[in-house]
Amino acid sequence: MAFNFSFFGTNEHRVFNYRPRYFDEEKEERRKKFGDVDNSAKEEKYVPGSYIKGSFRDGNYQRQKGESKAQKYMGMVALILAFVVVYLVVKMWPYMMAALGIN
């Protein structure tokens, strides 16, 4: 049994959430019956991935959700505790060495 513990939480999977802005049912029915009128589909050959090429570089694939408040607070507390521990070790270094008998 493994315990996965992280100060910054776990990464959440990205969700594709597509909502069409406008849908005309009559127009879609006409397209199904008669096809595209401008014949642009006949001239061009479809290449898979051609519509999304360069979308990573344009910044279209970004996280929608940020980290929660609890994760932010835990990260800040952990950072403060780390600084306090480092400060105390540096401050008490001579006393620790004297207690161990190392000069």
Cβ(55)–Cβ(61) under 8 Å? yes
Cβ(99)–Cβ(28) under 8 Å? no
**Nearest-angstrom CA–CA distance, 27 and 8:** 49
Quote the pLDDT of residue 86.
96
Per-residue pLDDT of the chain (103 residues), as tens digits, is 456 666 776 677 777 777 777 778 888 888 888 776 665 555 667 777 666 666 666 565 555 566 788 888 999 999 999 999 999 999 999 898 899 888 6
Quote the pLDDT of residue 79.
96
Quote the pLDDT of residue 28.
84
Distance of CA 89 to the CA centre of its chain: 36
Quote the pLDDT of residue 38.
63
Three-class DSSP category at 89: helix
> Which residues, other chains included, contact 1 with Cβ-Cβ below 8 Å and sequence gap of 6+?
none
Backbone angles phi, psi at 5, to 5 degrees: -120, 135
